[in-house]
């Protein structure tokens, strides 16, 4: 395994985090009559020059960046790429941004944002690849509508990804893996392949992936390759 970027938790004490936020935050703003007071800002225009020093570097999208360990290692291992995270829990966004600022990352940024609102502010064919790893499973059927993974979500990702760009997925929930595979098959905008850990392109882990590995909890890795518009 390659050398890792290790977060100094004494310098950056991680805050106590509630697992869930207001359930309405997981729903698109356009589908609600009134937004809750702490609803993530709805982004309509990107501020690339404020987010990254070199806006011409290839863009990577990390959806649900959580505590930021994967995103920070991503930016550290790939200084030639810009890594943009979106996360629904503002307390984690603020903490990750403190690390980014304190460690002087110029190719990493995290936005407080609900992926349910889509990525209209990201240009067509501008994302080299995206990651959506160990997403909140929302296991109860009545809560499935809170899952960001949907047909509009996939259509938007296919639009922003470069032709044949990759969407990397990981989950330790069999029902989530089945739902995502079924949705991708129905959508027909991607070709899905399950990956062996040896074929996983990242040497660094998310917190949940690390937890699963240490506790011998099985998890699955996938790569969905976007079809080009003329495929």
Cα gap 58→123, rounded to integer Å: 13
Q: How many residues does the chain have?
A: 231
Q: Please pick, among 8, 31, 136, 175, the residue that the annotation labels catalytic.
A: 136
Give me the sign of the Cα torsion angle 41, 100, 161, 2. Answer: negative
Q: Are 90 and 123 in contact (CB under 8 A)?
A: no
Question: Please, is 156 exposed, middle or buried when counting C-beta atoms within 10 Å of its C-beta (0-12, 13-18, 19+)?
Answer: middle
The Cα-based distances of 226 to 83, 115, 132, 160, 163 in angstroms read: 19, 19, 14, 10, 7
Cα gap 88→65, rounded to integer Å: 9
Note the Cα 140 to chain centre separation in Å. Answer: 22
Note the Cα 206 to chain centre separation in Å. Answer: 11
Active-site residue flag, 136: yes
Cα gap 84→59, rounded to integer Å: 7
Tell me the catalytic residues. 136
């Amino acid at each position: 395994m390659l050398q890792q970027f290790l977060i100094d938790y004494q310098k950056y004490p991680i805050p106590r985090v509630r697992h869930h936020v207001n359930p309405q935050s997981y729903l698109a703003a356009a589908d609600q009559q009134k937004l809750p007071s702490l609803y993530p800002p709805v982004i309509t225009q990107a501020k690339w020059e404020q987010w990254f020093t070199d806006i011409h570097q290839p863009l990577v999208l990390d959806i649900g960046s959580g505590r930021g360990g994967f995103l920070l290692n991503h930016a550290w291992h790939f200084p030639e790429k810009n890594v943009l995270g979106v996360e629904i829990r503002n307390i984690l966004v603020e903490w990750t941004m403190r690390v980014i600022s304190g460690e002087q990352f110029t190719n990493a940024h995290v936005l407080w944002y609900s992926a349910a609102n889509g990525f209209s502010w990201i240009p067509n064919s501008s994302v080299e690849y995206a990651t959506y790893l160990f997403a909140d499973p929302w296991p109860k059927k009545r809560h499935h509508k809170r899952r960001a993974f949907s047909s509009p979500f996939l259509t938007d990702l296919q639009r922003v990804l470069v032709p044949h760009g990759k969407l990397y997925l990981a989950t330790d929930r069999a029902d989530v893996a089945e739902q995502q595979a079924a949705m991708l098959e129905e959508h027909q905008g991607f070709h899905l392949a399950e990956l062996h850990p040896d074929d996983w392109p990242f040497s660094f882990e998310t917190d949940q992936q690390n937890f699963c590995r240490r506790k011998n909890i099985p998890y699955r890795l996938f790569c969905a390759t976007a079809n080009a518009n003329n495929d």
